[in-house]
């Protein structure tokens, strides 16, 4: 299996076409049963690229935290979310794209070109862009965005875990771990659960039938 190492080649290629400000964009949180989906847009300073950038999933928690601080100190960063209500109203894909669009729009100066993790361009994005499959492991700008989004969302879920103890969000970040699914059955559905997701929907359906 080919193992990609993120580099600056996509950014350099875009700059060679006259596109000066390059933003990397990524999102996290498609799979959880609870919490928002979070996206980040990052414009790296070519003279201040932190060492060791990689797909956030390939890094230790400590390394992610260190890189988060390094990115925030020397890059332009915008973070945005799509809510649980938006995930349920639209769908997780559209909500993810909304978060991406908001993150890009939140940059202090619009980028000339956007590098997007995945194979789909958000339909509301009108800027010059390209999609990169497994981009978080191939482009350092997207790697940086994945780290910022991951750390930010994890912190949100830790905060929510204090308000709704018992679901293990401080460790599972809302993903459907065995303990989270058990807590759903025993403790019920919170306002932060995605009602359109099957495990949550099924519990609500069962509760409705019991109450009938």
Supply 54's token pair. Answer: 């990689």
C-alpha to C-alpha distance for 5 and 112, rounded to whole angstroms: 24
pLDDT in tens, 14-39: 999 999 999 999 999 999 999 999 99
Q: In the predicted model, is pLDDT for residue 2 greater than 70?
A: no
Domain locations in the chain as residue ranges: 9-163, 169-211
Is 117 a known ligand-binding residue?
yes
pLDDT in tens, 66-115: 999 999 999 999 999 999 999 999 999 999 999 999 999 999 999 999 99
Is 130 a known ligand-binding residue?
no
Between vectors from CA 182 to CA 156 and to CA 146, what angle results, nearest 5°?
30
Supply 105's token pair. Answer: 């729009």
Predicted TM-score of the model (pTM): 0.95
Q: Which residue is listed with tokens 């060791």?
A: 52
C-alpha to C-alpha distance for 42 and 194, rounded to whole angstroms: 28
Is 26 a known ligand-binding residue?
yes
Q: Which residue is listed with tokens 């990609």?
A: 4
Q: What pLDDT score does 205 carry?
A: 78
Q: Hey, what CATH class is 9-163 in? A: alpha beta
């Amino acid at each position: 299996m080919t193992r990609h190492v993120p580099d600056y080649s996509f950014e350099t290629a875009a700059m060679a076409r006259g596109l000066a400000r390059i933003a990397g964009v990524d999102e996290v949180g498609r799979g959880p049963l609870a919490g928002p989906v979070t996206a980040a847009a990052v414009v790296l300073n070519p003279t201040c690229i932190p060492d060791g950038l990689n797909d956030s999933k390939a890094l230790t928690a400590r390394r992610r935290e260190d890189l988060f601080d390094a990115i925030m100190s020397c890059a332009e960063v915008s973070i945005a979310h799509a809510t649980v209500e938006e995930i349920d109203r639209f769908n997780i894909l559209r909500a993810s794209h909304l978060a991406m669009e908001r993150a890009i729009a939140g940059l202090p100066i619009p980028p000339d070109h956007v590098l997007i993790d995945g194979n789909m361009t958000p339909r509301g994005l009108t800027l010059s862009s390209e999609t990169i499959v497994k981009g978080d492991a191939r482009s350092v700008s997207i790697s940086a965005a994945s780290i910022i989004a991951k750390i930010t969302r994890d912190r949100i879920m830790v905060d929510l875990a204090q308000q709704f103890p018992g679901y293990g969000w401080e460790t599972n970040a809302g993903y459907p771990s065995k303990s989270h699914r058990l807590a759903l059955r025993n403790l019920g559905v919170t306002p932060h659960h995605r009602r359109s997701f099957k495990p949550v929907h099924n519990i609500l359906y069962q509760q409705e039938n019991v109450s009938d």
